[in-house]
Amino acid sequence: MAQDALSAKAPEERRDRILRATVDVVRDRGFAGTRVSDIADAAGTSQGLILYHFRSLAGALNAALTLLEDEFYEDLDRDLREQAGPVERLRHMADLAAGMGPAVGDWRLWLELWVRALHDDDARATRESLDRRWRSALREVISEGQATGDFDPADTDASAMRLASLMDGLAIQLALGDRGMTPERLSDLWWQGAVTELRMPV
């Protein structure tokens, strides 16, 4: 028995496990409901270790946020690069947001982030950055589609803003478990909206 199953090989792995546990706890307890002991339980460590690696509960929460941010970027970049043309890319964004991407479609978490952003500056910065990234990806795809002739929006900026906002709004229904809102319906509703908004040829 060279290694105890509980003790990770490297401290860094323990640290990572704590962050992942933090994300999990926040997802279903919310930022406000997350206790140090919850994270400790979920990560299988002591409370002390969490305070040792991060300086405070807030430190752990913020570190979890930046982890999330990084994963969001990775997901988005990797997934979009795989798609051939602008139409496919846009279609894929709908599916990603509908929950097919591990980080991108994590709407309960984004909801929590939005509200935390109302009161916490770190969260505000993270939120802004995520949103900017998502919107600029969207705008890029639209521009690309304009170049290829697939899209013909009346006002590119306004269309990008509307489509991004539409996604957020639909996602709220999904996150809150509204009757009749499913990932598929979200994807469809958004795609139809994009077809209209970008005046795609049918």
Residues that bind DNA (CB under 7 A): 6-8, 11, 14-15, 34-37, 45-49, 51-53, 56-58
> Out of DNA, a copy of itself, none, which partner does residue 196 contact, by CB within 5 to 8 A per kind?
a copy of itself
Q: For residues 138 and 90, give the distance between their C-alpha atoms in angstroms, rounded to a whole number.
A: 8
| Cα dist from 166 to 26, 180, 188, 195, whole Å | 25, 17, 12, 13
Nearer to DNA, 54 or 134 (CB): 54
The length of the chain in residues reads: 202
Residue with tokens 């430190």: 59
| Minimum distance, C-beta of residue 34 to DNA, in the bound complex (Å) | 7
Q: Which one among 24, 131, 140, 144 touches a copy of itself, defined by CB under 8 A?
A: 131
| Minimum distance, C-beta of residue 195 to a copy of itself, in the bound complex (Å) | 10
Q: For residues 52 and 29, give the distance between their C-alpha atoms in angstroms, rounded to a whole number.
A: 23
| Minimum distance, C-beta of residue 122 to DNA, in the bound complex (Å) | 14
Q: For residues 98 and 171, give the distance between their C-alpha atoms in angstroms, rounded to a whole number.
A: 8
Q: For residues 68 and 74, give the distance between their C-alpha atoms in angstroms, rounded to a whole number.
A: 10
What residues line the site for a copy of itself (CB under 8 A)? 29-33, 108, 111-112, 114-115, 117-119, 124, 127-128, 131, 154-155, 158, 161-162, 164-170, 172-173, 175-176, 178, 189, 192-193, 196-197
